[in-house]
A and B are shown apart, each in its own frame.
Chain A
């Protein structure tokens, strides 16, 4: 692939990642506001009065709202963090030299962030299942997402490959 093609591809991917970044931030903020209102409502007897509107929260355990809020924060912040790291990697690709030592570390950080999101998701599901009576309409099922853990392993392997690639690149630079 030519350098110009790589640059335009990196620019396009960077734009896509930027869109995902802002979507995660906006969705997180909206979710936080909605669930926050719900939490406030469920704590204050089932209704929230805001200027121009009145919201009713019925039969929702405050703990469930709190868990949902924690989930939203971790998920949106995690996705935004992953997008930020991806944009740094793509910027090095656009400059024509992705084999820099930092990119190995960035891939490791992305893997850790995805693993952390998944661990938080599983933990929250466990907490909901163990501590809250959700009624018959909702059952908290604990599942291990193999695709996510597979992606985490692939990212760790890629990070290691990047580190080795960087070392070889450095050696090549110093070969006369």
Chain B
């Protein structure tokens, strides 16, 4: 999937463990783990809101769009 979850980076910056975040946002550790490893298929706005609130960040800090076409264009240009 072209959407990359960078939750681990934000957690490292905030010096917060996944277990602590799980307790704060009220999402199970298993589900947060699915999100962190990029296996999740969708994120609810309510979850995103809770994550941003507890991590004091913006949605863009947690999610990144990795455009595969951009990578192809770079290869073509080179």
In the complex, A175 has a CB within 8 A of chain B: yes
In the assembled complex, 18 residue pairs joining A and B whose CB atoms fall closer than 8 Å, in A order, are A171-B41, A171-B42, A174-B34, A174-B39, A174-B40, A174-B42, A175-B40, A175-B41, A175-B42, A175-B43, A175-B44, A176-B31, A176-B32, A176-B35, A176-B40, A176-B42, A176-B44, A176-B47
Task: State how many residues of chain B have any CB contact under 8 Å with chain A.
Answer: 12
Count A/B pairs, Cβ under 8 Å: 23
Please name the residue on chain B nearest to A175 by beta carbon.
B42
Would you list the 5 A-B pairs with minimal beta carbon distance, nearest first?
A174-B41, A175-B42, A176-B35, A176-B40, A176-B31
Q: How far is the CA of A174 from the CA of B27 in the complex (A)?
A: 13
- Which residues of A are in contact with B by a Cβ distance under 8 Å? 170-171, 174-176
Chain B residues contacting A176 (CB-CB under 8 Å) are 27, 31-32, 34-35, 40, 42-44, 47
Q: How far is the CA of A50 from the CA of B54 in the complex (A)?
A: 87
Q: How far is the CA of A39 from the CA of B39 in the complex (A)?
A: 63
Chain B residues contacting A171 (CB-CB under 8 Å) are 41-42
Please name the residue on chain A nearest to B5 by beta carbon.
A176
Chain B residues contacting A175 (CB-CB under 8 Å) are 40-44
Please name the residue on chain A nearest to B36 by beta carbon.
A176
Q: How far is the CA of A175 from the CA of B41 in the complex (A)?
A: 6
- Mask: chain B, 4-30; 1 = CB below 8 Å from A; 0 = not: 000000000000000000000001000
Please name the residue on chain B nearest to A171 by beta carbon.
B41
Chain A residues contacting B35 (CB-CB under 8 Å) are 176
Cβ distance A112 to chain B, nearest Cβ, rounded Å = 32
Cβ distance A169 to chain B, nearest Cβ, rounded Å = 12
Q: How far is the CA of A171 from the CA of B34 in the complex (A)?
A: 13
- Mask: chain B, 33-72; 1 = CB below 8 Å from A; 0 = not: 0110001111110010000000000000000000000000
Q: Identify 18 new A-B residue pairs, CB closer than 8 A, beyond the known A176-B31, A176-B35.
A: A170-B41, A171-B41, A171-B42, A174-B34, A174-B40, A174-B41, A174-B42, A175-B40, A175-B42, A175-B43, A175-B44, A176-B32, A176-B34, A176-B40, A176-B42, A176-B43, A176-B44, A176-B47
Cβ distance B68 to chain A, nearest Cβ, rounded Å = 21
